[in-house]
Structure 1
Amino acid sequence: MNLKQALEKILSEYLIEKESNSFSGNTLAEFLRSELPKIISNLLGVSDRYLVKGSAGKGVWTNVPWAAVLDKTVTDTPQKGFYLAYLFCEDGSGLYISLNQGVTDLKQQYGSSVRNALKVKSSDYAAQVPHNSPGVLTGPINLKTSQRMGLGELYENGAIYSRHYQTGALPANSELEAHLSEFIDLYLRIVINQSSQQSSTIAEDDEDGLSVEDGTRLREHKRIERNQKLAKKAKELQGYICKSCGFDFEKKYGALGKGFIEAHHLTPVSTLKGKKIGLDPKKDFTVLCSNCHRMIHKTEFVDRVEEFKAAYVVV
């Protein structure tokens, strides 16, 4: 089944299943959770940067089913951050592919003002990465939602860039795939822009003298390393002793240093290529003490810890 067939299946069957059949064990709900994400994942190619999830609801049918592509360096849940999603209109009249925002955390933060907050953030994202293409919408969308302040209405206001597809008039599968690629590239541009927009007042020493492009790549590299979930998993798998100099924070500082180490991403800064980047905590990361971590970024051995150790570490 291709992407067009999968989207058409949901558009034609969802309301019938929602209104006539129970949620538990429903085959269409399972299709949204597993099969559609698999189809999307296959189109993204070999990349562990992205996590794809789909949902028809939790325990009960949701009014606006969805499938989301999550950049794991940004978020691993559609409740926060920003992500790419297919959002199906509540009345079955169509769907959107949309760069959107996590609404749950913002709703808790802003309360009844969350819709305005989403619109402001959406405008800011779009201003950072302008994109003009025929058929691409900027800002709020219309999911035909019926519930005020429900998730569907918040998705409407959280939209950054979107394309609308009408039921019965979806474009050819090749065009849908091209649109997915377009929006993945947009997503990546916004992610990278978040790194490049770091204030110069917080620039670190190892960024001195770098060009704008190299500085952006280095900040992207550090942002990946500082992703809490990835870093935590890398440390759990690789331990808490520096792989370069052998420094043990717990041995030196006792309980204060227990469990302390820094995760280091092994992809060379000069070869960062967005969605092709490796994010496996076991093979794409190592652990280093603070000193070795800062120093390795200043060398050509970012991905070769043993060579860095041989060249620079005095034991």
Structure 2
Amino acid sequence: MRNPKWHRDEIILALDLYFQLEPGQINHSNPRIIEVSKNLNRLPIHDTRPDEVKFRNPNGVSLKLSNFLAIDPYYHGKGMQSFSKLDKKVFDEFITDKARLHRLAEQIRLATQDDDRNFALYEIPQAEEFDPIEVWEGQVIYKLHKLRERNSKINQRKKDTFYNQFGKLECEACTFDFEKFYLELGKGYIECHHRIPLADLEAEKKTSLDDLALVCSNCHRMLHREISTLSVEELKWRNNGSKSLYFNFERMRF
């Protein structure tokens, strides 16, 4: 059996290295390619690897970088023509935004630095299993973010503190109140979102109550679509703008 196709997150790691190398440095013995190979093998993405020996080995990484040569408009050689549609899509997305590419690659590499965390990430379902368009930043980043949000004790403390202060649990982005809408069924229900982007999170920093925001399910999913860039405050601003447009439209109808 063949090994699984390259995932977007894996391509991001390889492409980040590609833009740091000269074409003549692309070979399986390059220490930087070997290091990327190790990182790829530690990523919590593919739990089934039919050919463990060849799975994302240095030779395979070199071939992937050679695929990028064939896509790169600034390279005047041929490169390897066996690139995939996803290879080209990711390349085109980042060729003019290498800073964002590197930031995402650094966040993805976080997942390879701790074996216990890596194991925990495998236990978190991939976003595609329930919504193929939910996560823009990447699957591994999504899993890292979800892992931080699974601390039930501090989540409950956040809810208790918010309720004691305001007498209700409402979404901080759109003010939706589950109890008000669903009555007894919705009592005490709200979701916790971690505010701090992974790129800004210090490795040893513990989550504080101020790091969390209470949000409804819809707003939470929207925040996860741009985990590293969209803040609760910005989403609230967007929500307010959408409400204004809606009410103006309703007035025009009548």
Same fold (TM over 0.5): no
Higher share in strand:
1
For Structure 1 versus Structure 2, the TM-score category normalised by the shorter chain is 0.3 to 0.5
Structure with higher helix content: 2
Q: Greater relative contact order: 1 or 2 (C-alpha under 8 angstroms, separation 6 or more)? A: 2
